Amino acid sequence: MACKRGALIVLEGVDRAGKTTQCNKLVQTLQQSGQPVEMMRFPDRSTTIGQLISSYLEKKSDLEDHTVHLLFSANRWELVPLMKKKLEQGTTLVVDRYAFSGAAFTSAKPGFCLDWCKQPDVGLPKPDLVMFLQLSPAEAALRGQFGEERYETSVFQKAVQQKFEQLMKDSSVNWQVIDASQSVEDVHENIASHTHNAINKAQNLPLGQLWT
Ligand code: TMP
Ligand code: MG
C-alpha cells in the first residue's frame, strides 16, 4: 500500500437520535486534526436510483417492498467503487446510515426475515466501526414530532429498534452503542474517541467484507 488506508465509520440509530448532527461534527473535528475525511449518507438521493428511493420515501410513488429493499442496496453498491477509491487514498469516510438501516427497516415490515434482508448487502465494504446512537422512545418524543416521510411513525420505529438490537448481537461487526441522551458535546466526544481508535487500527488492516 502506497499510503495508509482511511477508515469506514458508520453511524446508525433510531430517528431523531442525532446521527446527522453527529456525522457533521465528527467530520469537522477530524478535518481540524488534519485527517483526510469525507461524509456520505445512505440513501444517497442524488443518483438515478436514489431519486426513485426519495420519491418513495416522500410518498410520491409506491414501490413493492422487495423492490425498494433491493434499490436501497443497489444505491450502496453503486457507490462502492468510489468508497474503495477514497479509502485506499487514505480518506476516512463518515457514513450516515448503511446496510444495517437497510436490514432493520425492511425486516420490520410484515413477511420479511432479517436473514433475507441482509443478503443483498453481503460483501459490501465492512465498516471498521458502527456506532449505534441509542435513544429511548420517550426521549425521542421530547425532541419533537416525527416527519412526514414513510416509516416515520412510533409503531414502525419501535419495530426497527428491535431489529437493530438483533443485528447488534453479531460480534463479527464492531458495534459500539452510544448513549444519545447526553448533550451534543458529550455524545460527540464519545464518538470522536471511538473513531480515533478505529482510524488507528484500520491503518494496518485490510478492508473487510460485510456479513461474509
Ligand atoms: P434519512 O431520513 O436518513 O434520509 O433516511 C431515509 C429513510 O430510509 C429512513 O426512514 C431509513 C430508511 N432506510 C431504509 O429503509 N433502508 C435503507 O437501506 C436505508 C439506508 C434507509
Ligand atoms: Mg429521515
Residue 2 resides in a domain: no
Number of domains the chain contains:
1
Contact 133, 11 (CB under 8 A): yes
Calculate the average pLDDT of the chain. 96
Contact 154, 146 (CB under 8 A): yes
Helices (H), the chain: 19-32, 48-57, 65-77, 80-88, 99-107, 114-118, 137-142, 154-167, 184-202
Answer yes or no: is pLDDT of 1 > 90. Answer: no
Residue 208 resides in a domain: no
CATH number at residue 138: 3.40.50.300
Residue 168 resides in a domain: yes
Q: State the pLDDT at residue 2.
A: 56
Q: CA–CA separation, 71 vs 92, rounded Å?
A: 25
Q: What are the pLDDT digits (tens) for 14-66? A: 888 999 999 999 999 999 999 999 999 999 999 999 999 999 999 999 999 99
Atom number, ligand 1, closest to the C-alpha of residue 152: 10
Atom number, ligand 1, closest to the C-alpha of residue 20: 3
Instruction: Give the pTM.
Output: 0.97
Residue 210 resides in a domain: no
Residue 3 resides in a domain: no
Contact 150, 68 (CB under 8 A): no
**Hey, what's the cell of 11?**
453511524
Residue 207 resides in a domain: no
Q: State the pLDDT at residue 162.
A: 96
DSSP, collapsed to helix, strand or coil, labels residue 72 as helix
Q: Which domain holds residue 26?
A: 8-202
Q: State the pLDDT at residue 85.
A: 98
Distance 205 CA to ligand 2 centre (A): 33
Nearest CA to ligand 1 atom 6: 43
Atom number, ligand 1, closest to the C-alpha of residue 106: 15
Q: State the pLDDT at residue 143.
A: 86
Type of residue numbered 169: K
Q: What are the pLDDT digits (tens) for 79-106? A: 999 999 999 999 999 999 999 999 999 9
Report how far Cα 140 is from the mean position of its chain's Cα atoms.
18
Q: What are the pLDDT digits (tens) for 182-199? A: 999 999 999 999 999 999
Query: Could you identify the residue written with the cell 437493530?
Result: 164
- Could you say which ligand is closest to the alpha carbon of residue 19? 1
Region of residue 18 (phi > 0: left; psi between -120 and 50: alpha; otherwise: beta): left
Nearest CA to ligand 1 atom 5: 43
Residue 166 resides in a domain: yes
State the complex-level ipTM: 0.98
Residue 12 resides in a domain: yes
